[in-house]
Amino acid sequence: MTSTSLLLTAPLLHAQASLPAFPGKPVTMVVPFAAGQSGDILARLIGESLARLWGQPLIVDNKGGAGGTLGSIAVARATPDGYTLLLGSSGPTAIAPSLYKKVGYDPNKDFTPIVNVAGVPQVLLVSAGSPHRSVQDLLNAARAQPGKLSYGSGGKGSTAHLTMELFKSMAGIEMEHVPYKGAGPAYPDLVAGRLDAMFDTTPAALPLIRAGQIRALGVSTEQRTPSLPDVPTLAQAGIKGFELVAWWGILAPAGLNPALQQRLNQDFRKVLALEEVKRRLEDLGMVVLAGSSDDFRQFIRSEHEKFAALIRNNNIVVE
């Protein structure tokens, strides 16, 4: 190791040596959505393995409301001691700060990034009885009837809405947006064919795909997802360069001790490397993304900039 490297690592090593034993009490992970949703399932899955590693329970605290921003605000204002963490996601962390006039936090300043946990592909869906059996079928129909085909989403400014706006823009088509109060209420209309299409996450869509009620035409990721190996990516289906991934990651309040940030990153990555955890995430349609805290910091910044441009270019405003 060079003398320069020793100088750079010495402060962190000293900070690690001076850290008290962690955790010395239960750790709370705030999930900014209601119980039973994919983020809640993910938090409890990781929490079980972390509890065994730490010898302390990880308590999942569901603080839903306002598209995930209420729980995010609570963590941004918490003491930065490692005992309050946030299961952040693309919605409240990367999208909401550009979507709302006053969201109550800055994703790049008010949190300490710990680790990006999992990517969640968005799937382009149609009814099982739809005449559109491929992405090109849907595009051809949309081009033949501009603005006549409809698509649903879990609400204006949701990840699914923005994914379709990007899809429409890159494909050069027009479709009518039908927003719902959450993705769940849109499914009966999709299954019945009253909606022509919609995007949703793999964890939410897989049960209905496997039950034969809806059909997956394409996934939004760069590579095919293991849970839907026969479904092409949108880039493979003709929308060259298309990639958009919903994601989940762990954040702490700003000001966390850098040595504790590193310790938490290492512990989460140990858990995410467990075969049973990786297999369960794949069964849910998620892909493990675990990297360094610095990687996650840069990722959040780039995601924020990407969605800000998408919202601005499409004049999407939510009061």
User: Which comes out higher in pLDDT, residue 21 or 177?
Assistant: 177
Give tens-digit pLDDT for 79-115: 999 999 999 999 999 999 999 888 999 999 999 999 9
pLDDT, residue 19, reads: 65
Residue 186 pLDDT > 50, yes or no? yes
Dihedral sign, CA of 100, 104, 107, 113?
negative
Give tens-digit pLDDT for 49-82: 999 999 999 999 999 888 889 999 999 999 999 9
Virtual torsion, Cα 39, 41, 47, 49, nearest 10 deg:
-130
Confidence of residue 45 (pLDDT cuts 50, 70, 90): very high
Residue 170 contacts by C-beta under 8 Å, 6 or more apart in sequence?
239, 241, 242
On the CB side of 258, CA atoms within 13 Å amount to 8
Query: Quick one: how far is CA 95 from the chain centroid?
Result: 11
Residue 284 pLDDT > 90, yes or no? no
| Token pair recorded at residue 93 | 């962390």
Q: What percent of the chain has pLDDT over 70?
A: 94
Scanning 134-245, the segments in alpha helix (DSSP H) are 135-144, 159-171, 187-192, 202-210
With 0-12 / 13-18 / 19 or more C-beta atoms within 10 angstroms meaning exposed / middle / buried, residue 138 is buried
Instruction: Look up the pTM and report it.
Output: 0.83
- The residue type found at 24 is G
How much is the average pLDDT of 286-309?
A: 94
